[in-house]
Structure 1
Amino acid sequence: ESEETVHVEECCGENRKGNRKEAARIAEEIYGITPGSWADRSPLHEAAYQGRLLSLKTLIAQGFHVNIVTIDRVSALHEACLGGHVACAKVLLENGAKVNAVTIDGITPLFNACCSGSVACVNVLLEYGAKPQLECLLASPIHETVKRGHRECMETLLANGVNIDQEVPHFGTPLYVACMFQRIDCAKKLLELGASVHLGKLSDAPLHAAARNSSAEVINLLIDYGADTKSRNAEGKRPLELAAPNSAVERAMLLREGPAALTQLCRLCIRKCLGRPCLTSISRLQLPHRLKEFLLYR
């Protein structure tokens, strides 16, 4: 099979099943340009992007270098991960693809895997040495996965040593992102694992973000975990002042304005004494089931 034939085969696969449309939408969002319009894309990029494993293997066998990049330094591994094509990603890695390759925008294959929500891609990248937490100038995988609501990817990153309270410019902490984008499942898991309810984006707490953008459920969740309803941001505003008038969020905050219940204070105190590393061990403590459920907010 000639290189030209393979390339034609790749370009004619527009109607095949898969998640190409979603990958294209995300690619346009994070790269700022539609992937199909890149003049310097190789057949290897196309095969990886479309998840065509056989064609990818053929191209590598024909001599295409797995680390060939576009002018923006996008590699075939970036493309495979963006599409969530774990088999293609693994073949590229097995043939020497750079697992921590960075585009000119600071994007890594792991970041793209988090965009696609592919836990399988995240795991294979980590297996091959991907750095789960990068310096602050690079795009943060955990913030992106929380932003998109991919809880399993988030949990995988946290299990591999990512700082649960990592604050990055423009986004703040993962919990702040979860509140800003109304990702309730991610917010619940972050709090359950010990994320600080007070750390957000500079002086803006997660409760400020929730008051602006979220639901009463998130408001109650944050306050249950000890969020300060009277904290003020850089503008001197309390969360209540940011809630839309007569909204469910405003009503929820007004109901929680008073002193905390003694049971809530006791739970917060015990969890604080245990410390974040021990929170995951609560279910294994020799305690009555009801008490363990209470400490775990269940």
Structure 2
Amino acid sequence: MAASSVTMSSSRVPTLGFEDYSLYSSLSEDELIEMAIERSLAEAHAAASEAGSAKAPALQVRQNPVHQNPSVQRTIPPREQNVPPPANPPSEKPYEKMGTIEAHFVTGSGRRMVRWRKHDGSLQVSPEPVEQADPLFTAIWEGNVKMVRDLVNCSSKSITEPYRDGWIALHEAAYYGQEECLRILLRARPEMINTRSEKNQTPLFLAVSRNHVACARFLLENGADPDMPNSSKETPLLKACERENPETLALLLNHGALVNKTCGEGWTCLHEAVCRNHVEICEMLVKAGAKVNVSNMYGINPLFSAAQSGQVDTLRFLIKSGADINSQANDGATALYEASKNGHEEIVELLLSQNADANRAAKSGFMPLHITAQRGNEGKRLLFKMTDTYDYENSVKIVALLIPVTSRARVRRSGISPLHLAAERNKDDVLEVLIDAGYDVNAMLSPDRSKMYEDHRSTALYFAVINNNIEATTMLLEAGANPNLDTFSPLLVALRQGCIQTVALLVDHGANVNACVPTHPTSFPGTVMFCMKYLSMLKYLMDNGCDALSCFKCNYGSNPHPPIKTTRSRRNLDDTSEEATPKTPVQFCEMISTDLISRWAGPIVDVLLDYVGNVQLCAKLIEHLDSYEDWAAIKEKSVPPRPLMQLCRRRICCLVGRKRLRRLDTLPLPGRLIKYLKYEERYQQIDF
């Protein structure tokens, strides 16, 4: 059956509109689609009849390959490696601008159709248009040498006329490896051997990129320029290294290809070969004069590339060839630094065995030990981010290799300890190795680095606490970390997070239970602010010596309180200077009167009353206790005089002291007295 052609006008596009669905609402969607296909085929046949013997239009309906005329229409082979597509797109596809494609399908007669939906929701079915291929290019794709020869000898169309993206017939022959076609084309027009496409690709470049050695040899023997680059300034020699083809490489080198020519980013052929760990190609390049210490635009030389990508074989070759093992990139990173960062243990071991300097810092101030503690294996971790079984063993081994060769004085001068970085990234295994190696767990960030954080954190312990990493917190505290060195106490962070386990760890190791918030001064311990909703945590702080008495000190006493400012002005929020900090400390009665906490006022006051003697409640606290009838007992509890038993308990606690109260169970006191001091109700009535 001959190929039929149709003209796709908007008046003949088969449509299933609202009326169709109304008349055939009982039909299924598949039946409706089938109906639309039949209508489209009928209209296509009518259009072909009207066309008669007129000139074939540009858009044609694809026929079944078995029945179509091979001289008129061909299937164009696809290209690879970002080479332009084989055929120009059809000049008109109504569904691309007017709707959304839903499916492509082939009818029983072999016609290719496309089902699409208009923006108004109506269903459309149209023939899928294709473009007629040029006979010369069709013959090249199929390797039909006779047809190519005939077309070159008698065709009125010039064989040098660009086809798509500036490709001429010679480009096509080189790309598809048609050596005989190359011979015919060059014999007819030898001057087009170095013709460039729109992307500056020569036939030689395309032949090399496709590993067509015979075509590349023929082109070179007939005068092809081996150093003519494409738009990215990539030469055929660089492409041969990328394809890892020593035969093509040798061919290009024998024809005088420049071995040190760089691409747009300064990348050389040796860089490319090193990244692919191809030692044979590296040897060929170096023998041909490749420079082993040449750097690209980022200051990266081939040895750096080998270390970065973990290529041990090419790294050994470069070291033997005299590469500078301690060269630094533009950012100051060395090969050892980059290998450490990416978790290449074997590379690190090899570099250290060749006396690589472990104390050369990058512009960030980080040395290889720093970057391993922070980011070791990070590149590999991306491969395992969807699993829970990732092994960080490489980072630990690299840290162990770097510790003996890293200067502690250089680490101190850097202003940051590897402990900070390991704690920040939750590298518990690395943290343990560093602690065992004797790194100072109380090392402080330098002022410049501390200012990089809004809370001005300083210690590794702070990083562990803010990450809620209990294991790291435990290791640091047991190694002697001081929980009171940071401007903002780690205990306040743990209280804000509501983690009683971390709070207990910090308090047991001497954290100040009366710590304040530097930017928000209060007349009572800042720790109380963060646990007003957690009564058990509040009681725990009080049991460990938190100052409850200060919560009942009020400047206004029984007098009326002024209105409470619950928000700060925008100017104060933006201004973090000392002048913006409120000069008058916030009182407990003001804090407890905020909307979020006032509902808990009664129970909070009730807990605090157990840890004070005779106190006088201010007018604001009495107002809160009067607001809810069930809190009347709490108000009554506060009226002096307090029970003698309570006053005795407070006196004993004062004599014991705040520090020893934290270790109450270890004190040489009678068991009944210890239970009495712990406020256990069944021992409230104790006979002394």
TM-score normalised per structure 2 = 0.32
Q: Deviations over 1:22-65 (max 9, x none)?
A: xx3xx33xxxxx34365322222222223232222232223262
Spell out the pairing of 1:44-63 with structure 2 (5 A cutoff). 44-63=170-189
Taking structure 1 as reference, are residues 56 and 99 closer, same or farther at Cα in structure 2, changes over 3 Å only?
Answer: same
Residues 114, 222 of structure 1: alpha-carbon distance in 2 compared, 3 angstrom cutoff = same
Within 1, Cα distance between the matches of 2:356 and 2:267? Answer: 28
- 2:130 maps to none
Question: Is 1:206 the equivalent of 2:339?
Answer: no
- For residues 208-287 of structure 1, the aligned pairs below 5 Å read 208-243=337-372, 244=375, 246-258=392-404
**Residue of structure 2 in register with 1:81 after alignment:** 208
Question: Where do 5+ consecutive residues of structure 1 fail to align?
Answer: 15-19, 29-33, 261-298
Does residue 148 (structure 1) correspond to residue 276 (structure 2)? The answer is yes
Change in Cα spacing, 1:110 to 1:171, as seen in structure 2 (3 Å) is farther
2:227 to 100, 116, 128: 100
- CA-to-partner distance for each residue in 1:223-265, whole Å, 9 max, x for gaps? 11111122211111111211246541442342343259xxxxx
Q: Quick one: structure 1 residues 81 and 118, their matched pair in 2 at CA, closer, same or farther if it must change by over 3 Å?
A: same
Contact 1:72 1:104 in 2 (8 A): yes
CA distance in 1, matches of 2:186, 2:316: 44
Provide the identity percentage: 26
Cα distance change, pair 110–57 in 1 and its aligned pair in 2 (3 A): same
Tell me which residue corresponds to 1:110.
237
Bigger proportion of residues as strand: 2
2:304 corresponds in structure 1 to 176
Q: 1:186-220 CA distances to partner (integer Å, 9 max, x unpaired)?
A: 11211222211111423210011111224211111
Other-structure match for 1:70: 197
Residue identity opposite 2:336 in structure 1: L
- The C-alpha deviation readout for 1:148-185, integer Å capped at 9, x for no partner, is 33322222111111111111113601011111222222
Bigger Rg over Cα: 2
Q: 1:91 to 1:204 in 2, by over 3 A?
A: same
What is the rounded CA distance, in whole Å, between the counterparts of 1:167 and 1:226 in structure 2? Answer: 22
**Which residue number in structure 2 is paired with residue 42 of structure 1?**
168
Give the distance between the partners of 2:186 and 2:221, measured in 1 at CA.
Answer: 11
How far apart are residue 97 of structure 1 and its match?
0.7
Q: 1:100·1:130 contact (CA, 8 Å) conserved in 2?
A: yes
Distance 2:178 2:342 in 1: 40
Deviating runs (4+, > 6 A) in structure 1? none
Q: Deviations over 1:113-160 (max 9, x none)?
A: 111111111111111111101267554211122223332222211111
| Aligned residue in 2 for 1:286 | none
> What is residue 249 of structure 2 aligned with on the other side?
122
Q: Quick one: higher RCO (CA 8 Å, sep 6+), 1 or 2? A: 1
**1:296 alignment partner in structure 2:** none
Asked if the contact 1:215–1:248 (Cα under 8 Å) also holds between the matched residues in 2, the reply is: yes
TM-score, normalising length: structure 1: 0.72
Aligned in 2, Cα 1:171/1:46: closer, same or farther, shift over 3 Å?
farther
Q: Does 1:185 align with 2:234?
A: no
CA separation of 1:200 and 1:114: change in aligned 2, threshold 3 A: farther
RMSD of aligned alpha carbons: 2.6
Number of residue-to-residue matches in the alignment: 238
The amino acid that maps onto 2:172 is E
Alpha-carbon distance between aligned partners in 1 of 2:355 and 2:84, rounded to the nearest angstrom: 45
**Structure with more helix by fraction:** 1
2:189 maps to a residue whose letter is: G
